[in-house]
Amino acid sequence: MNKIPVKRALLSVSDKKGIVEFAKALVNLGVDIISTGGTSKLLKDANIPHRQVDELTKMPEMLDGRVKTLHPKIHGGILGRRDDHAIEAAQHQIEWIDLVVVNFYPFEDAINKNKSMPWDEAVEYIDIGGPTMVRAAAKNFAWVGVVVDPEDYTQVLSELRLQGGLDFETRKNLAEKVFALTSHYDAMIHRFFLERSENHHECPQYKDLQLEKVAELRYGENPHQKASAYRIKNSPVGILSAAQHQGKPLSYNNILDSEAAVSCVAEFEEPACVIVKHANPCGAATASTIDDAYLGAYQADPLSAFGGIVALNRPCTKRIAEVIAGIFMEVVIAPAYTEEALAVFAAKPNLRVLEVPVHDRQDWEMKFITGGVLLQEKDNYIIRQEELKLVTNARPDKKDMEAMLFAWRVLKHIKSNGILIAKNNVTVGIGAGQVSRIDAVDLAVRKAGDHIQGTILASDAFFPFRDSIDRIAGTGVRAIIQPGGSMRDEEVIAACNEHNISMVFTGKRCFRH
């Protein structure tokens, strides 16, 4: 059926927004309305003619309202095919229902308002009749229109007025919306059961992931690739939930780099700044003030910082804004901005300025692969000084120890193989994403240049050979922090002793792929 007229509609909504106006318009179009409970009372108060469901079914609502629409007179009217089921429907005095307008009990709102809601109260918010009716209508979209979103009232009324019925494509699209909603609704209830289960754990047999599209991106990693951005439904955190004060829409690469920057800067409680380029930190620093942290991070590698992403864990000041405005940056991210800082940025209209609240780091992360998803705990482990094992004759001093603990937090966010050279809580040289550890060491040493004197070196995994130690001998690197655990640890330790370099083992590696 390309177009169907609407002679009869069933209205039963929890979200009452716009329903009175919608019902009045339907009546003016000659539509017979059937309604339930609270919706019926609202229509009655507005003097809108309609019949209650029990007038159709000849059965009262029962079992504290749990059963009211679960009846053949309702579901037969929704599910019947208008051609080969017509005779049977007439035999049972079933009236066709051409439009179903339903939304569900607010289960999510209810449990979010009361996290400790007892079971017997929570289950009463699980809608049965609503999902059953809309699934029936969506299945029979060849004959029936179904509306679950008040935003669709306008389109439905427009087609009924202009065409006298609903187009096939409209009915199909509305049906698709139904199955997206019921899928989300059931997944939400499933998550509630998992959270309340005595055997609850983070890796259940089935994992629900509901995504909503928030943006059609210009392209993906490269201009010839299509891309879109999807947010985990109702998530209040993350780059896709950021408030954007100004600038062009975020690109695919902007989003990935911004996520990397925010994840790294969230490692620190003290004022910190991280600058990211191509998903890797190229400069990171902590300081007593956010201004000094920014300057330290930028000066760590100003060449690589060009066109990068700046993330701060304190409000952005006018001073930082003025420095950023004088160079080319793609994105600035902070939990807040002074009015003076925003005024400075306004002169750079293409600069993307994002406000992302400081929030607790996530406990779990997902990575999509072909045909599946990998789920793992995020590496939120913070190495403490007392956990470090000294394995060399030379001992690191207090400043070296502080630098090593700082470096390890940044190193966790650098693609493996990763080497980081730092001093005074500022990165000096970073070697990221290399296929051998000695290559990563070479790159970090070259990046450090003349600033390498008096530094420490951090490695995200053990050194398989002593060649990396021999490479840094005489460069000015004073101490090394690494996991340890190689079959050649003794050989590496001996090399450090030969070159009078102190070294500690963490006992933990921090690979990032």
Known catalytic residues are: 139, 278
What contacts 247, CB < 8 A, 6 or more positions away?
331, 349, 350, 351, 352, 353
93: left (phi over 0), alpha (psi -120 to 50) or beta: left
Q: Give the DSSP letter string of 429-446.
A: EEE-S-SSHHHHHHHHHH
In the block, which residue shows the tokens 């309305």? 33
The sign of the dihedral angle between the CA atoms of 5, 9, 15, 16 is positive
* CA gap 202, 435 in Å, rounded: 33
Which of these, 92, 118, 91, 122, lies nearest to 106 by C-alpha position?
122
Residue 511, helix vs strand vs coil: coil
Torsion on CA atoms 84, 88, 90, 93, rounded to nearest 10? -140
In the block, which residue shows the tokens 């439009």? 99
Residue 495, helix vs strand vs coil: helix
Amino acid of residue 485: G
* CA gap 333, 216 in Å, rounded: 21
Beta bridge partners of 227: 217
DSSP alpha helix (H) spans, 226-381: 252-265, 290-300, 302-305, 318-325, 339-345
* Under 8 Å between Cβ of 412 and 267: yes
The sign of the dihedral angle between the CA atoms of 436, 438, 444, 449 is negative
Which of these, 301, 363, 290, lies nearest to 333 by C-alpha position?
290
Residue 223, helix vs strand vs coil: coil
Instruction: Based on DSSP, count helices (H) and strands (E) in the chain, helices before strands.
Output: 19, 23
* CA gap 108, 125 in Å, rounded: 9
The angle, 0 to 180 degrees and rounded to 10, between the axes of the packed helices 290-300 and 318-325 is: 20
SS3 content of the chain, % helix, strand, coil (to 5): 40, 20, 40
* CA gap 212, 235 in Å, rounded: 10
